[in-house]
Homo-oligomer: A and B are copies of this chain.
């Protein structure tokens, strides 16, 4: 169905198709400008450049979520949290500065722009992350659906954490209920009536990650931000890059009742749904309970759980243990949820 000569929706939705596009179009030739550290070739949440005995972490994300306001958040909160969290995933829990590039459609309501700005500012305060420089462009009416926000970030860390450090036996932790962001946005988009409250989890989690790092130290061997493609995509990347398999217990995966209800109605597996205030953390087995306790002691980590274990076999695969049997968790091709973040 899809035309190979054209970019399609699936190229922006996480998972295999997007990696393919980035790899084939944007990576070519990256080897000619080597970085002292880890750049585009690592396809991690960000890049890490050596600066003396520390690492400068850089990351970027453009935000196109639709609708711009949804239960639990908005595009402004998302733009700040998304970038702060990408930095945290590499260990840079303290932000040096964020940049903000806004592209706006001519005629956009100033009042809405101010609400978005107020939300960005509030989220910056929560994250202790200043916006240090910005850029505004305007496109003509009909040339852009409202507004796009790009946020890039810079952070420093002495302990760099990557997404490829899992070894057989390491435990996988998720820091709380999964799927809330994507399902809340989808429910808002489709004006779905749900019982109970389904809200996006969008939040900056630098302090949560700092608590885990303080408790786990070098026993924390991998971290990943389960945004587009959800926990499933993060686990696939971690397994592939680490050269291990991953087995997860279905009964251990934390989800809210509201998310389960929405997922059932929408026919979507929460494992594949974007989160915007969670981390998937790989920990050496002897430190797993200690890190879990540290997470659960933080307001943003109360529902944290150990969901699985890395294995020496089934390299690159993610396997779900349902209690009744085991099945492969497939890798998302990519077109599940456009404009989810």
Judging by beta carbons under 8 Å apart, are B101 and A62 in contact?
A: yes
Closest to A105 in B: B7
Closest to A125 in B: B32
Chain A 119-136, CB-CB to B under 8 Å as 1, else 0, gives 001001100111111111
Judging by beta carbons under 8 Å apart, are B18 and A97 in contact?
A: no
Q: Does A296 contact B (CB under 8 A)?
A: no
| Interfacial chain B residues near A183, Cβ < 8 Å | none
Judging by beta carbons under 8 Å apart, are A7 and B58 in contact?
A: no
Q: Does A143 contact B (CB under 8 A)?
A: yes
Judging by beta carbons under 8 Å apart, are A58 and B97 in contact?
A: yes
| Interfacial chain B residues near A39, Cβ < 8 Å | 97, 130-133
Taking the closest CB of chain B, its distance from the CB of A1, in whole angstroms, is 13
Interface residue from B37, B111, B133, B144 paired with A58 (Cβ < 8 Å):
B133
Taking the closest CB of chain B, its distance from the CB of A224, in whole angstroms, is 14
Judging by beta carbons under 8 Å apart, are A130 and B30 in contact?
A: yes
Q: Does A289 contact B (CB under 8 A)?
A: no
Q: Does A40 contact B (CB under 8 A)?
A: yes
Judging by beta carbons under 8 Å apart, are A132 and B49 in contact?
A: yes
| Interfacial chain B residues near A131, Cβ < 8 Å | 26, 30, 33, 39-40
Taking the closest CB of chain B, its distance from the CB of A280, in whole angstroms, is 19
CA distance A7 to B109 in the complex (A): 6
Judging by beta carbons under 8 Å apart, are A33 and B150 in contact?
A: no
Q: Does A282 contact B (CB under 8 A)?
A: no
Q: Identify 12 new A-B residue pairs, CB closer than 8 A, beyond the known A7-B109, A144-B148, A148-B148.
A: A7-B104, A7-B113, A11-B104, A12-B104, A12-B137, A35-B97, A47-B97, A47-B133, A60-B134, A62-B102, A62-B103, A140-B339
